[in-house]
Structure 1
Amino acid sequence: MSQTIDGQNVNRNGILIRGLIILLCAGIINATSVFITPLAEFYGWEASAIANVGTTMLTFWPIGSLLGGKLLQKFGGKAVTLIGAVTFGAGLVLTGLVPNSTPGMLYFTYSFLIGMGNGITYCGAMYCVMGWYPDKKGLATGLCMAFNGGSSAFLAPLCSRITQMFNVKVTLFSCGIVCAVICIVCGLGMKSAPVGYVPVGYVQPSSGAALSSQYESYPISRAWRTRQFWLQLGAQAFFPAFYLIMFSRFSMFMTDKGIDLAYATLGVSLYNVGNVVGRLLLGKLTDNIGYKKVYLCCWALCMICGICLLTGSSVAMILIAYICLGAGFGATNSVYPVMTNTSFGPVYAGNIYGFALLGYMVMTQVIPIVTNATITSTGGYTTAFILAFVLCTLGAVCGVLIPKLDRPRLKEATESEKE
């Protein structure tokens, strides 16, 4: 249903569809091996020369998200999407132009440009969409995250097919240009929701609170002084422990147990299925039972994953672990935006979310190092998994203990400023 906003006819469902297409394109970074491994083979590079390109990209990605939230706040949905799309697309194209003699340039073209550009696009598009759905935050976020997380399921095979037919450079050029053009076209129709936005026809439940958009939003300069912010940062830093230990080790873990590599490929596919389904269904569930109960569901799924990994030796138990990890960790990506919006309001939520991601950024470097050290010293995964149990539980406690932040209603805040 359309509404007239600032003299323009705006359809929030149209903005949702544009955002989903943008996030679909941005999700291609979930399949790093589609580009990096073929590049190493194409040029004959040693694996050690580009071994950390993917993990370094994950370090820049949260910084891009932080910047995307800031740009969204200052310039709106259209500008931030266009900036992210151009940077992200340029990174893919320039990665295909890296000279054979300088593989280290991938740390600029792939790690920096793609990481930053994709983070800007992701945060800008998601929070722009979310601003138009204060009444259905979980559903909107769940859809965004499902499209973003699930895109690699068909984009990765498509990219692999193009590489087989031509070469990886053609794949990079094609992906960079196509993704940039699609995101730019969709980005031209993106528009940020106005402060205090209420959907047309919305009726507040007699026993329910007003929409989050009806309360004053906190900027990061105010949010970081609250307990809510630091608890969310702790949740985002500690909860992903099982994911950070296992995601790059799916195949290695199964082959170490003497399981056929074909099952490892199946495990990755099942992880992706669990990831998409978890993001969508548990994201929607936050509208019905609240984000804290859903967060506990995510924790329970990660605990089941850990138990299966620690005690299971059969293929079935390990595949169950991968499904639970995909659903449990994947759904947290739908919970965190709702968590941010609920505590601090929609106006600065993207920027605050970006700052909270800094905790995750640190852990993307710390946990793999600790994991490698413990596996090397002990010869097994037991110590790493015990650490993951502790950290994931600590993250869940942080998320559940976030107290309600009593923000003044917009009218009250305006009157207070006038006084």
Structure 2
Amino acid sequence: MESINLGILGMGTVASGLINIIELNNTKVVGSINKQLVVSKVLVKDVNKKRNVNLSADVYTTDAYEIINNADIQIVVELIGGINPAYEYIKDALNGKKHVVTANKALIATRGEELEQLARINGVRLLYEASVGGGIPIINTITENLSANEFEQITGIINGTTNYILTQMTENGLEYEQAVKEAQRLGFAEADPSSDVDGDDAAYKIAILSSIAFNQRINVNDIPKEGITKISKEDIVYAKELGYNIKLLASASKTNDEIELRVHPAFIPSDHPLSTVKNEFNAVFLKGNAAGEIMLYGKGAGSLPTGSAVLNDIVSIIKNECRKYNDGIINADKYKIVNRAYKKYYIRFEVIDKPGVLARIANVFGKNNISLNSVVQRQKNGNNTAPLVFITHDIERKNIDTALKEIGNFDSVIQIASIIVVENF
């Protein structure tokens, strides 16, 4: 039986999952492609390190070009992450006319268009299903199953780390710092979780999905993003009392010739399907003009789910059944990127508890055309201060920012503690 030789760059969580799935499901894979997959070489930092995979010692190398320049290797799998040296490795592999599969969302979001073009020039494939959503086949769904649709909206929970942290804060009453430490202990968060909690990871992923769905070049720097580091236990409590859960959302919507993108924490109605997505799970809503609304749900991270997505891309290349994801991308900007953030907002203040404070704040909101949906006052926190919570009607964020700039100068306002979007799906 013919063999297909794989070269894997990196030997972390996803790579070990890929190798273990190839062994675990070997009969299924061979039956699907009528070929044997062989892991020929794996790039590692330390060839002597013990690993939880069944590979012989001579497979390991510390030289990436033993893989990239190896004429017997047909497919290079990049799983080292980051921009450099992954970019150079993938570029050289494509120029060497090798197919490439990657899970590298940062690289695809920032250099993907260039690498796609390079793959086309060299007549090979660059696939990256595992870069978004772990084991959820979101990219394949957009490019294959729903390829006849014009997409209007993508909204989802696409970062498992932040979803785990917010779930623990909601269900177990943990403070933010406690939830982060628990996520790190269980391996859901890195030692430095900033890429996740600051919203960078979700921004990379929504940039990838938007570029594919809308056939439009998306610069990740054009995506306004806010992470979850300012979400407090108090916000979680208010959300629950008001009938919501807080989630980090990544969204992209297209209206006529405009696209609006955003990564932000949001109040999600407790009866909405996205509100029930917990822990490391991800979910993505797609809205097509023909198919309507579709939700994809599954584990957004982990060795086996992400390894499964990588293996699916490998199988697709071998069977020659895959499209090139960005075949339709237009080099010129097709749509205008806008940032209106026309939403409802939850705003929590800490104020001095004295007469006239509420009226003075409400007056500033009125001057800025901000209509209020509800106001919640609570008992004193002590030291003569009290929380004051507003939920607005739909309004552009710039109006909110203008009003808060004035309100923040009031002597009676101790702190503008939180500003969170309230989604009304």
What is the TM-score normalised by the length of structure 1? 0.26
Q: Which has the higher contact order (CA 8 A, sep 6+)?
A: 1
Choose between structure 1 and 2: higher helix proportion: 1
TM-score computed with the length of structure 2 as normaliser = 0.25
